């Protein structure tokens, strides 16, 4: 390999990945033929799962290495284009691939905060970080903090912050892996987690960053093909135009007309909707009354309610002709009956807000910040802007992404590489809003108004698989589906699109493989970040700087196993809300890293005291605010300026910047050597320059 020049290397990479893409498409076509020959879906699901995981493991084995620079930064010769693809896969997680279109389906304009936030952040990466980090040219983000702020304290805070945000994020990914493998193969959730994890480990264990990079390129190709095919197909079907991103403007107008019709009580469909909404309104009222009574009378009321449910079970069982289904339902209700006043309050509140949401008219898809009055709209707008800010700054601070820009051959390539990264990410992100509108049009025009006796196959299938993804019930008993009778989970939109478009099962398998690629590639990058922070920054830089290469790599690989096992264990406990975990990781990274990293390059006066103060106060306030306001922790303190806990980074970033500035100005300027280091990273090449790059 060393004899090869960079351009020869680039040419052969292009050749390999063209062959690979062709091979993958042939594989999908072969499976399509097998499906036509009558091979059952379950077998196809297994073939997809094991073929792709096997492929990733194969690339891992081929890229195995014992060289430190190859292990940590892929030998610093990843061309801009390929680093762009790898960053794309590293970046796009299970949440982007599976959840995003569904979030847009449910939230309309307000969901665009994620689309803008997760793309616009790359502008900050390009302008403030990538070229300078590349010039600095070491292995990890704490490396930069340690060198720029002169000491182990800033480095240690960096390590802790990197572990906190990467670990939070990796749990969300492994959860996604378990979900997809269990749904498409019928394996247990926990088994699915470990199968997926085995694939991740073979890859990163043997080849570190080098293996992860080349696998991520392969994963990007799979995930983008898997996302585009159903979207294009649906677009052709509905509009005759094969470019969904252009075609959906027209569908959006039609969705707008349908929304008006469904909200207009004088039309037949509007009146039918209204009758269902009235039932939801009554339910909300009943839940509200129960809550009021519970508040007034506490335990006594709860006991009374429980007795009523028990009585109903007994009554049903005692009937002359026992109705098995009804008894089962009543028994389930009894089993799920809340144990104490706190649990009952929470459960009934959820019932109330759910029913209230269903009772409201549908809000227009393209309408921003819909609220019942001016004040509520203003609050939504404020939170939208705050969330966009946190997601963007968080993007420019997540260590597993920034680390990727250490792997390019030069500063010049690093700059180009950010452009490619965003381009490849953009391809998926500007398709997601299109997919959301196309699916919405299908639901509003085909599913709503159809008969319960003849539901479309995809509705029946998914309702049977998982009630949280798709549930449908004839609430007003008119035999016709109304919009207020359907509940669609956010993950359904992408997973069910192939069936909505009437595509064969093989495309569903492809979508699952794409989702798996998205989750695995992100998990790979995150696990490596955590293991590297521990092995490189803690072990090599702080504990034993004389450790020989073999021992450094052995420690790193050992830690990788420990971290992966720990992450899988935590995931199998199924903690909390996945979307919140993802959002939290961004706010935490933004608060901890962004001010110290950017001011470290752009403000020579920034010094160690400033960095320590800024990082600690930013991270501290962010964690404190989440703890105080996120319902999961049960404190529920009043919010500051109505900002939601997911956007806690707003406070963290602000305080972080103030901390760096104040701390630096109160103490003396950094030494000559540090100032020379700042000049060093600012210029791609200087005469008589110092050397910071590790080979």
Residue 60 has which token pair?
């891992």
The nearest distance, CB 519 to another protein, in angstroms, is: 23
243 binds another protein (CB under 8 A): no
Nearest approach, Cβ of residue 146 and another protein (Å): 22
| C-alpha–C-alpha distance, residues 212 and 560, integer Å | 13
Would you say 110 or 485 has its CB closer to another protein? 110
Nearest CA to 475 among 354, 363, 370, 371?
A: 354
Q: Judged by CB under 8 A, does residue 369 bind another protein?
A: yes
C-alpha–C-alpha distance, residues 92 and 522, integer Å: 7
Question: With binding defined as CB under 8 A, does residue 641 bind another protein?
Answer: no
CB-based contacts of 324, cutoff 8 Å, min separation 6: none
Burial class (CB in 10 A: 0-12, 13-18, 19+), 691: exposed
Q: Which of 9, 20, 46, 128 binds another protein (CB under 8 A)?
A: 128
Query: Smallest distance from the beta carbon of 161 to another protein, in angstroms?
Result: 25
374 binds another protein (CB under 8 A): no
Decide: is 196 part of the binding site for another protein (CB under 8 A): no
CA angle 260, 261, 263 (to 5 degrees): 65
With CB under 8 A as the rule, give the number of residues binding another protein: 56
If binding is defined by CB under 8 A, does position 679 make contact with another protein? yes
Rounded Cα distance, 9 and 3, in Å: 10
Listed ranges 179-187, 236-244, 379-387, 500-508: which one lies at the site for another protein (CB under 8 A) = 379-387
Q: For residues 497 and 617, which CB has a smaller minimum distance to another protein in the complex? A: 497
User: Residue 411 interacts with another protein (CB under 8 A)?
Assistant: yes
C-alpha triplet 618, 620, 626: angle, nearest 5°: 105
Contacting another protein (CB under 8 A), which of 306, 312, 639, 682? 682
Sites for another protein among residues 384-403 (CB under 8 A)? 384-385, 388-389, 392
Interaction of residue 112 with another protein, rule CB under 8 A? yes
Site string for another protein, 413-442 (x = CB under 8 A): --xx-xx--xx--x--xx--xx--------
Say if residue 636 is exposed, middle or buried (CB neighbours under 10 Å; 0-12, 13-18, 19+): exposed
For residue 376, the number of C-alpha atoms closer than 13 Å in the C-beta half-sphere is: 4
Is 683 among the residues that bind another protein (CB under 8 A)? yes
Pair of tokens at residue 195: 């199968």
Q: List binders of another protein among 582-611 (CB under 8 A).
A: 602
Pick the closer one to another protein by CB: 6 or 353: 6
405 contacts another protein (rule: CB under 8 A): no
Q: Where are the alpha helices (DSSP H) in 264-337?
A: 268-297, 299-318, 324-335
477 interacts with another protein by CB under 8 A:
no
Tell whether residue 46 is a contact of another protein (CB under 8 A): no
Window contacting another protein (CB under 8 A); options: 164-172, 397-405, 641-649, 678-686 = 678-686
3-state secondary structure (DSSP) of residue 324: helix
At what angle are helices 41-62 and 189-239 packed, to 10 degrees?
110
The pair of three-digit structure tokens given for residue 412, joined into one six-digit string: 């010049």
Closer Cβ to another protein, 456 or 684, answer by number: 684
E-strand ranges in 376-534 read: 470-472, 486-488
Q: Shortest CA distance to 77 belongs to which of 15, 10, 162, 133?
A: 10
Q: List residues binding another protein (CB under 8 A).
A: 109, 112, 115-116, 119-120, 122-124, 126-128, 131, 245-246, 249-250, 252-253, 366-369, 381, 384-385, 388-389, 392, 410-412, 415-416, 418-419, 422-423, 426, 429-430, 433-434, 602, 676, 679-680, 682-690
């Amino acid at each position: 390999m060393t004899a090869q020049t960079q351009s020869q290397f680039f040419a052969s990479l292009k050749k390999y990945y063209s062959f690979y893409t062709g091979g993958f498409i042939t594989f999908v076509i072969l499976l399509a033929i097998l499906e036509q020959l009558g091979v059952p879906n379950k077998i196809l699901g297994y073939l997809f799962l094991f073929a792709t995981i096997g492929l990733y493991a194969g690339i891992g084995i081929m890229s195995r290495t014992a060289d430190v620079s190859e292990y940590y930064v892929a030998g610093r010769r990843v061309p801009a284009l390929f680093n762009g693809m790898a960053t794309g896969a590293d970046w796009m997680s299970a949440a982007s691939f599976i959840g995003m279109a569904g979030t847009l389906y449910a939230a309309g304009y307000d969901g665009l905060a994620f689309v803008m936030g997760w793309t616009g952040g790359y502008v900050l990466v390009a302008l403030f970080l990538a070229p300078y980090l590349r010039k600095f040219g070491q292995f990890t983000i704490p490396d930069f903090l340690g060198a720029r702020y002169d000491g182990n304290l800033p480095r240690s805070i960096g390590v802790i912050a990197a572990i906190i945000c990467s670990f939070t994020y990796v749990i969300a990914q492994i959860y996604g892996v378990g979900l997809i493998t269990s749904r498409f193969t019928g394996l247990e959730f926990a088994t699915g987690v470990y199968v997926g994890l085995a694939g991740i480990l073979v890859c990163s264990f043997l080849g570190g960053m080098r293996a992860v990079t080349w696998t991520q390129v392969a994963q990007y190709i799979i995930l983008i093909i898997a996302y585009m095919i159903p979207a294009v197909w649906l677009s052709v079907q509905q509009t005759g135009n094969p470019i969904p991103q252009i075609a959906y403007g027209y569908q959006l107008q039609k969705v707008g007309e349908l929304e008006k019709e469904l909200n207009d009580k004088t039309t037949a469909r509007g009146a039918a909707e209204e009758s269902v909404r009235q039932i939801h309104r009554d339910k909300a009222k009943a839940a509200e009354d129960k809550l009021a009574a519970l508040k007034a009378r506490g335990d006594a009321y709860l006991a009374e309610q429980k007795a009523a449910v028990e009585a109903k079970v007994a009554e049903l069982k005692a009937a002359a002709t026992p109705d098995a289904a009804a008894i089962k339902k009543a028994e389930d209700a009894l089993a799920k009956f809340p144990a104490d006043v706190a649990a009952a309050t929470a459960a009934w509140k959820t019932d109330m807000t759910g029913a209230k949401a269903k009772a409201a008219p549908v809000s227009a898809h393209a309408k921003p910040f819909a609220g019942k009055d001016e004040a509520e709209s203003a609050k939504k707008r404020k939170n939208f802007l705050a969330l966009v800010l946190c997601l963007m700054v968080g993007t420019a601070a997540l260590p597993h992404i920034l680390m990727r820009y250490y792997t390019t051959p030069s500063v010049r390539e690093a700059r180009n590489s950010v452009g490619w990264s965003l381009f490849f990410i953009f391809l998926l992100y500007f398709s997601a809003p299109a997919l959301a509108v196309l699916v919405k049009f299908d639901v509003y025009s085909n599913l709503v108004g159809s008969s319960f006796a003849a539901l479309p196959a995809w509705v029946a299938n998914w309702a049977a698989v998982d009630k949280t993804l798709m549930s449908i019930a004839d609430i007003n008993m008119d035999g016709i589906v109304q919009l207020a009778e359907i509940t669609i989970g956010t993950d359904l939109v992408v997973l069910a699109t192939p069936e909505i478009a009437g595509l064969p099962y093989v495309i569903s398998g492809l979508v699952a493989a794409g989702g798996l690629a998205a989750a695995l590639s992100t998990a790979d990058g995150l696990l490596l970040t955590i293991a590297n922070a521990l092995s490189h920054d803690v072990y090599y830089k702080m504990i034993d700087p004389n450790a020989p290469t073999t021992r450094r790599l052995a420690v790193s690989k050992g830690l990788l196993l420990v971290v992966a096992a720990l992450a899988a264990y935590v995931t199998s406990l199924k903690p909390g809300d996945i979307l919140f975990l993802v959002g939290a990781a961004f706010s935490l990274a933004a608060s901890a890293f962004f001010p110290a990293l950017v001011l470290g390059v752009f403000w020579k006066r920034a010094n160690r005291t400033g960095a320590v103060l800024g990082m600690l106060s930013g991270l501290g306030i962010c964690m404190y605010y989440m703890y105080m306001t996120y319902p999961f922790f049960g404190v529920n303190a009043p919010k500051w300026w109505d900002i939601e806990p997911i956007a806690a980074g707003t406070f963290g970033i602000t305080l972080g910047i103030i901390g760096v500035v104040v701390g630096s100005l109160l103490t003396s300027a950094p030494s000559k050597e540090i100032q020379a280091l700042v000049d060093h990273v600012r210029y791609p090449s200087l005469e008589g320059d110092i050397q910071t790059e590790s080979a």
